[in-house]
Structure 1
Amino acid sequence: MRPLRLELEGFTVYKNRQVIDFGELDFFVIQGKTGAGKTSIVDAITFALYEKVPRYEGDTRSTAAKVLSKGGRSLYVALDFSVGGRSFRIERYYTPSMKSSEVRVMEGGRYLNLKKKEVETWVKDITGLDYATFTKVILLPQGKFDSLLRPSRPEERRKLLINLLNLDVFENSSNLIINDSYASDIINNTHLIKKL
């Protein structure tokens, strides 16, 4: 996934509309003074894709309510990105009177008819990254670098590597082979029982 353009307004310290163009950059560094909004840029990308922000995990309020600028009346985040030469856009909008944000998704300049609950699955299908993998491998939130190197449980490490290396294709294939083998055994055993 390659970010191309980020628009944000009413998002944390970015009360007024800001546009960040990543389009011509192969690599970039976000730098600035403490409180300047560096983390908010990363949070806005994550929020656009997943409607979640790592630093607010565990807070019971909606994520949109947490990232709304202090005293803000509305929040808008739009992320243009590309994957494999295809272009996409995700827009999220929120006002305090809403329970959660609204979302619109575009592919190749055309809006897709996706329900809100389908968007995270769509993002995973397009990017190959679910929220957990994105935040551990792509973003590495502040103070969490060691979680990439030392996941707390072996199962987490396994899942992280499977997602990162796209090994789920092989895992799914092996499950199909095992299931086919079991089905074949059941058919053979049923046939033997009928003979008795």
Structure 2
Amino acid sequence: MRDDAEVETAVVSSLESPSAPEGFVLEEIEMRGFMRYLEKTVPPLRFPEKYTVITGRTGAGKSSILDAITFALYGKTTRTDIQSVKLADICRPNGYVRVAFHQGDERWDVTRGFTTKKESYLEVTRDGEAVQGTIPDKERTIRDVVGLDYDGFRNSTFVRQEEMKELGAASGSERLAVFQKLFRLEIFEQALERAKERFTSLKSDIQAKEAEIAAREEALGRLPDLQQQLGSLDEERKVRGDRVAKLQSDF
């Protein structure tokens, strides 16, 4: 059973203006039967400010709180990233995690868990109104609201202990490589490469369109000459028509 004394939270007030627009702002987490939180968290873990520091000794359940967030939102955790670990291994029958958060002016409540028959379920409400649909439908809604998929959320939120230890032991270029790994800079490099490819493709399309426009402008430039030639041909047609008519009248 979880010992409440093992996890303590220290709140650091936000330096942002209260009137500043808000993105994803966590409000509270409620758990039962999730990882080492066997009993329902009463009261829920609340986050009254934008910045919260969670402290506790090893094994106190700090990482479990972070895993609870991704479990509720995405049905995944850093532990289930390991293929041998299943969701049923970290959330017991009749267990669940409820996460409440604000996104802009809307309040969202997400509850994910398993029934006593080990059937998974997902409940989502927006401003107190239930969001309808299948579990995949609701998961798409959550991704759209949060603005990140699981990998994006995890990579922007978690720094594992072994990665911090690796950073402390590294030096020079090795430390730079560790920072690149910690902050997943390869994601930005990949995005940059995709942007370059897209730019090259768009540049090629623009050049093709410019060539097409130039060809049409050239054709338009020849239009007066063509109109003049057409007029001359029309005059010649009339003259020949008159000659034919005269010959017919003579016969």
Distance 1:76 1:156, change over 3 A: same
Whose RCO is larger (CA < 8 A, sep 6+)?
1
Q: Which of residues 52, 60, 63 in structure 2 aligns to 1:28?
A: 52
Which residues in structure 2 correspond to 1:1-196 (within 5 Å)? 1-18=24-41, 19-22=44-47, 24-60=48-84, 62-63=86-87, 65-68=88-91, 72-95=92-115, 97-98=117-118, 101-144=120-163, 149-151=179-181, 156-158=187-189, 178=202, 181=205
Flag the structure with higher helix content: 2
Larger Rg: 2
Aligned-partner residue type, residue 91 of structure 1: T
Aligned residues: 175
Distance 1:102 1:111, change over 3 A: same
For the residue of structure 2 that corresponds to 1:7, the secondary structure is strand
Aligned-partner residue type, residue 29 of structure 2: L
For the residue of structure 2 that corresponds to 1:124, the secondary structure is helix
Q: CA deviation at 1:61?
A: 5.1
Distance 1:78 1:38, change over 3 A: same
Coordinate RMSD, CA, aligned: 3.6
Q: TM-score, normalised by structure 2?
A: 0.57
Where structure 1 has 5 or more consecutive residues not aligned to the other structure, the ranges are 163-167, 189-196
Aligned mates of 1:10, 1:158 — CA distance in 2: 40
Aligned mates of 2:113, 2:142 — CA distance in 1: 17
Aligned mates of 1:120, 1:141 — CA distance in 2: 25
Contact 2:123 2:130 in 1 (8 A): yes
> What is the percentage of aligned positions where both structures have the same residue?
27
Q: CA deviation at 1:73?
A: 3.9
Q: TM-score, normalised by structure 1?
A: 0.71
